[in-house]
Amino acid sequence: MVIVDWPEEFDRWLTNTEQAGGRLAEVAVALLQALTDLPGKPIEESATFKRVRQARRHELWRVAHPYDPDVAVRLICWFPDQDSVVVTLVGFDKKTIGDVFYASAATRGEALVDAWLRQKGRPVMTEDVKFIRGNDRIKALARRADLAEGVARTRAEMADADRAHAMGLAALRQAAELTQNELARKLGVTQAAVSRMEQPHDMLLSTLNTYLQAIGGHARMIVQFDGGHEVELDLERLR
- Other C-beta atoms within 10 Å of 64: how many? 20
Please check whether residues 222 and 130 belong to one and the same domain. no
End-of-domain residue from the set 134, 161, 188? 161
Please check whether residues 140 and 212 belong to one and the same domain. no
What's residue 99's pLDDT? 45
Please check whether residues 185 and 152 belong to one and the same domain. no
Q: For Cα atoms 15, 12, 90, give the angle at the middle one, nearest 5 degrees.
A: 110
Please check whether residues 21 and 105 belong to one and the same domain. yes
C-alpha 14: how far from chain center = 19
d(CA 84, CA 62): 16
DSSP string, 20-83: H-HHHHHHHHHHHHHHHT-SSS-SS--SSEEE-TT--SS-EEEEE-S--TT---EEEEE--SSS
Please check whether residues 134 and 190 belong to one and the same domain. no
Q: Give the global pTM.
A: 0.66
CATH number at residue 214: 1.10.260
Please check whether residues 118 and 231 belong to one and the same domain. no
With H, G, I as helix, E, B as strand and everything else as coil, classify residue 148.
helix
Domain that holds residue 224: 176-237
Give tens-digit pLDDT for 122-138: 655 556 778 889 999 99
Please check whether residues 73 and 98 belong to one and the same domain. yes
Do the domain assignments include residue 184? yes
Q: Output the tens digit of pLDDT for each of the chain's 239 residues.
A: 788 989 888 899 899 999 999 999 999 999 999 999 998 888 878 889 988 766 677 778 889 898 887 888 888 888 887 666 677 766 665 544 444 445 566 677 777 777 777 777 665 555 677 888 999 999 999 999 999 999 999 999 999 888 777 666 777 777 778 888 998 998 888 888 888 777 755 566 667 777 778 878 777 666 665 555 565 665 665 54
Please check whether residues 156 and 183 belong to one and the same domain. no
**DSSP assignment letter at 236:** G
